[in-house]
Amino acid sequence: MKYPNGTKMIKSNYKDNFTSKQSFGNRGMTLEEDINATNNYYVETDRAIIHKKPTPVQIVNVNYPKRSAAVITEGYFKQASTTDYNGIYRNKYIDFEAKVTKNKTLFPLANIHEHQIKHMESITRHGGISFIVIRFALYNETYFLQGEKLFSYWNDKLKGGRKSIPYQAIKEEGFFIPFHYQARVNYLSIIDKLYF
């Protein structure tokens, strides 16, 4: 079999992309792609305005092999990033982080940085809604975990406690986000239940 561009399909990739644990509509999609598609749907339907934050980069060196093709060869992050997404929904500021783990039994807190937690705590303190979306890649399950619950696990870690959140705890304390065709990661439905 060949793709429309004429290249041959590699069978091993074909099998990997069509495992029985994945839903039909979600094959090959990353969490970021799913959230971006969801946010586009929210904007198009005038439900919310939420976007991925750009990461500020300082470009140091550019190679110009041709006039029409500049290649950045050296660059640095200007500052530590805060969270992945922000915007507004029903007069509330929304700010959240999205993470994927391949771990079966837990979500490692090492996947989050202290400056991100401080930023999320500040958002919550000022009346905004802050949370984390976690995808367990091996189960193809996505969960919404409120910032306040995340902060509790983080503070426990700082006091010498667990350095992770158990999968079972996320299932019990978080909210499962089922896959939908248009709003693939429909986190606003959970925000509606929790805050409005």
Binding site per annotation, positions: 82, 84, 97, 116
Specify whether the CB–CB gap between 136 and 101 falls below 8 A.
Answer: yes
Q: Which residues contact 116 (CB under 8 A, 6 or more apart)?
A: 81, 82, 83, 97
Nearest to 170 by CA among 138, 133, 137, 121: 133
Annotated binding site for Mg(2+): 82, 84, 97, 116
* Cα–Cα distance for residue pair 167/102, rounded to 1 Å: 11
Residues linked to residue 138 through DSSP beta bridges, in sequence order: none
Give the type of residue at 167.
Y
